[in-house]
Structure 1
Amino acid sequence: MKLYHYMDEYFGLQNLANQRIKASTFDRLNDPFELIGIETSDQDIRAALKEMKRRVASKFGILCFSKIWSNPVQWAHYADNHKGLCIELELADKDDARKVDYVSERLESKLIADPNFPQKLLLSKFKHWEYEQEYRLIRELINFDKDNGIFFQPFNSDIKLTKIIIGCQSNITRHSLMKILNEADRNVEIIYARAAFKSFKIVKHKNK
């Protein structure tokens, strides 16, 4: 399975040089409804979810991917207004990353009794995030590399770098990328992005 990960220029170039991507924890994601996407008018439920989120964040890390690289909003939000990069990664096990389910309403609190409740909560987001077409890979933090308190997933046979896409407003060049890439990654395809002529999509620039 091939999935995509957006990065700004500064950290993107650092991560490519170090052959890795950053893993997040659930308490540092940009959606305040992470792990509390159920109806929480009951005070005891709110307290239980808060404690559960604390425990999950202390033990598990998350890698966030998209099924596509053509959405201009994602480039704006996660690649510094199209000045950064998007990388294509091939996951050896297609079942490693799970597809996010987008919902229009908060889940019912009675779902707490469902044995599948934790997984459902981990993979549910508000419908307005649907444009991201997100996939998530969740692992225990001990399975990630740690550098200055930050967790990273190295490129390896399980998660392999296969393409680098340069944003349509980026000053990054193929030449500058080749200078920082590890020898093992220098055969990776590098392309430039541009705004499409007939749709609101980001597409491959065929003349660069």
Structure 2
Amino acid sequence: MKINEYFQLLLEGKEQEAEKVRISTIPNKLIKFIWLDESENDEFKFLTLKNDEIWFANKNSLNDPYEYKGMLIDKEKFIKAGYPIEIIEKYQTIFDFKDYGVTCLSSNSIDYLPMWAYYANNRKGFCVEYEVIKKDCIHEVLYEPERIKVASLIIEYIKAINSGQEEKAYCYSKIISQNFFIKTKSWEHEKEYRIVYPLDKNSKGMNVSVRKLGMRTSRIVAGMNCSEDNKKKLNEISNSLGLGNIIPFTVHS
């Protein structure tokens, strides 16, 4: 994403122009890999697929310990500016976002083997491809070499709130919310895109309709090592969704 242009437009209060820049980077198709392991969780995943829904997980269940921690308060700058430690720690909670769930998608090709290994139990699971109809709620993940320290951004955000400058505060909040979509460079090969969704308090996650998210399920691909029983279930679901038979995954030589 043209992140500098996006941020600059937001700082100028040009929210609509900024959104056009952000949305311009969203692809027309995205995929999601699903893990199957013959446990009782498999049936829930089949039901989610059958209902044409996507699971949004609480951040604590994700595999990166630094989720939602791409930005952090620059404590040294706040201390030099005369802020007490209690206020600094309070400002850090701006990045908490604990009541939001996330679903992770990828723009990689379906035959990208590392994703099958990481997220589909070494090709025992399956992959779902989605056609993106509306791109508003989808965000490209940015990969940074290190966590971003911020100070003036938070100060200006608080000032805008306290002075009743709602539009300005909203634009600052859009920049702060980018914390959902920042990961370290080591994850870059995943080519991740995300959607975040508000969860009920203390919820572990929830299902949301694919259509509500502005997407359409276009095909289901069964992993090479997916069991025959699971392939049969996937095939039945695929046909019930009007997608025809599942596509078996094969490694091209």
TM-score of the alignment, normalized to the shorter chain, above 0.5: yes
Question: Which residue of the partner structure matches residue 191 of structure 1?
Answer: 247
Between the aligned residues of both structures, percent identity stands at: 26
* TM-score, normalization by structure 2: 0.64
Question: Are positions 1:169 and 2:208 aligned together?
Answer: no
Question: Which residue of the partner structure matches residue 87 of structure 1?
Answer: 128
Following the alignment from structure 1 to structure 2, what is the Cα–Cα distance between the partners of residues 192 and 140?
A: 35
Question: Which residue of the partner structure matches residue 21 of structure 1?
Answer: 54
RMSD, aligned CA: 2.8
State the 1:39 CA deviation.
5.5
What does 1:1-208 correspond to in 2, within 5 Å? 1-9=28-36, 10=42, 11-38=44-71, 42=75, 44=85, 48-49=91-92, 51-54=93-96, 56-58=97-99, 60-68=100-108, 69-110=110-151, 112-113=153-154, 115=172, 116-141=174-199, 150-156=205-211, 158-172=214-228, 175-181=232-238, 183=240, 185-188=241-244, 190-197=246-253
Following the alignment from structure 1 to structure 2, what is the Cα–Cα distance between the partners of residues 19 and 161?
A: 7
Q: Which runs of 5+ in 1 are unaligned?
A: 143-147, 198-208
State the 1:41 CA deviation.
7.4
Following the alignment from structure 2 to structure 1, what is the Cα–Cα distance between the partners of residues 32 and 152?
A: 32
* More strand as a share of residues: 1
Aligned residues: 188
Following the alignment from structure 1 to structure 2, what is the Cα–Cα distance between the partners of residues 111 and 129?
A: 28
Which structure has the larger Rg?
2
State the 1:57 CA deviation.
1.8
* More helix as a share of residues: 2
CA contact (8 A) 1:111 1:117 kept: no
